[in-house]
């Protein structure tokens, strides 16, 4: 009989060994599937790395994909640390972009760019935070299920922007195409080293979130509430205040992602600018074990997979489904390793039989 029991905290070295084994098995399994489909596994893996890191332009594109992943993952980290399952990153990104666009589309072209961008970022953080505040308030006051609540709010946000795109904000000069007007140059994020300065925001936020969670009173309260609400209540913490504060921060960071995507990538507002980053960030946050520095590394690795997979379709005429399948297999094994880091298997029936034989 197999018995599953919770592990005590593993030494770091053993954690690294389990993760390394999981990655090795994922590559072996993915290689077998690729071979069955008639491709050379070594060539495929080589093209993935080449597609993500082979030239300066590809490296830049990999960084561009990593930026929204990192910032959104940091936002989700704050909520998950408190055991508030924020599945609404997509909607918070879209609503953050809406807030930023509200500013960008109503400022004159002569307005100073630094002030315009600061106002857009502030609006994005506020609107994204408010969008996350709504389920947090219902959770605090009425005990609603935050997973379903935040998930459903994604679709409301997307449909709201779709309505604006086809309706009141439709650009009259778009010749009937459902498109919102492009931002003026002063509302577009500048570039540094060939990549928009969102990468600076991402690196700074990694440091700030790490300090906030590990070295501030509010971060400590969020951690304690996540570990045990009863302990937090016994210590005199205001549970509702902690829930609402953490979600305001979580939604605000996701909203900032929306501003960056709208300003630097789309240069307008679209219903599809979130690009699935809100859902993908849930995975990277878990893989990062709710640690900001580890999340940075995981998001870069995942961006390499995304960029390399896209290049793979061009370089080797590999169908998009194969590239997605490779990513899925690797994720399956890596996420599966989390089970063995948290639990251990004991074969009590076999041990009992050995004792009886002895």
The Cα 97–Cα 154 span in angstroms is 13
| Nearest Cα to Cα of residue 209 among 220, 221, 219, 194 | 219
Average pLDDT over the chain, rounded to an integer:
89
Distance CA 128, CA 122 (A): 10
- CA–CA dist 278, 94 (Å, integer): 10
Could you count the other beta carbons within 10 Å of the beta carbon of residue 115? 11
* Residue 178, both tokens: 């459902």
Instruction: Say yes or no to pLDDT of 4 above 80.
Output: no
pLDDT of 316: 81
Residue 117 confidence (pLDDT) above 80: yes
Number of Cβ within 10 Å of residue 2's Cβ equals 9
pLDDT at residue 131 in the model: 97
Angle subtended at Cα 82 by Cα 77 and Cα 84, rounded to the nearest 5 degrees: 85
Residue 326 confidence (pLDDT) = 80
Instruction: Read off the pLDDT band of 357 (50, 70, 90).
Output: low
How sure is the predictor about 73, in pLDDT bands with cuts at 50, 70 and 90? very high
**Could you give all domains of the chain from N- to C-terminal order, each with its CATH number?**
1-39+318-358 (no CATH), 66-312 (1.10.3470)
**Angle of CA points 216, 222, 228, to nearest 5°:** 130
What integer pLDDT is reported at residue 312 of this predicted model? 84
* For range 149-163, the mean pLDDT: 96
The pLDDT of residue 348 is: 63
Please report the pLDDT score of residue 318 as a whole number: 79
Find the mean pLDDT for residues 329-355.
72
Q: Please state the rounded mean pLDDT for residues 125-140.
A: 94
Predicted structure pTM score: 0.90
């Amino acid at each position: 009989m197999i018995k599953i029991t919770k592990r005590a905290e593993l030494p770091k070295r053993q954690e690294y060994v389990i993760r390394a084994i999981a990655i090795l098995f994922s590559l072996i399994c993915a290689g077998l599937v690729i071979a069955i489909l008639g491709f050379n596994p070594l060539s495929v893996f080589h093209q993935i790395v080449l597609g993500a890191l082979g030239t300066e332009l590809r490296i830049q594109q990999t960084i561009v994909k990593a930026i929204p992943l990192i910032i959104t993952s940091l936002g989700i980290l704050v909520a998950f640390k408190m055991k508030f399952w924020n599945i609404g990153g997509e909607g918070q990104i879209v609503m953050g972009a809406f807030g930023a666009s509200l500013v960008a589309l109503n400022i004159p072209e002569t307005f100073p760019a630094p002030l315009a961008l600061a106002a857009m970022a502030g609006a994005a953080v506020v609107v994204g935070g408010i969008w996350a505040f709504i389920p947090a308030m219902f959770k605090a006051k009425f005990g609603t299920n935050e997973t379903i609540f935040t998930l459903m709010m994604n679709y409301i946000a997307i449909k709201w922007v779709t309505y604006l795109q086809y309706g009141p904000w439709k650009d009259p000069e778009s010749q009937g195409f459902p498109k919102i007007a492009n931002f003026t140059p002063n509302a577009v994020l500048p570039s540094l080293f060939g990549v928009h300065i969102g990468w600076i925001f991402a690196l700074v936020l990694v440091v700030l979130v790490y300090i906030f969670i590990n070295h501030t009173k509010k971060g400590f309260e969020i951690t304690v509430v996540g570990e045990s609400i009863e302990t937090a209540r016994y210590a005199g913490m205001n549970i509702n205040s902690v829930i609402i504060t953490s979600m305001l921060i979580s939604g605000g960071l996701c909203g900032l992602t929306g501003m960056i995507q709208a300003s630097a990538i789309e240069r307008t507002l679209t219903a599809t600018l979130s690009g699935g980053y809100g859902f993908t960030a849930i995975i990277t946050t878990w893989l990062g074990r709710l640690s900001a520095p580890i999340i940075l590394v995981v998001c870069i690795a995942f961006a390499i997979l995304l960029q390399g997979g896209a290049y793979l379709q061009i370089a080797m005429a590999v169908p998009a489904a194969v590239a997605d399948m490779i990513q899925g297999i690797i994720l399956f094994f890596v996420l599966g390793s989390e089970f063995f880091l948290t639990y251990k298997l004991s074969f009590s029936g076999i041990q009992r039989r050995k004792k009886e034989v002895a």
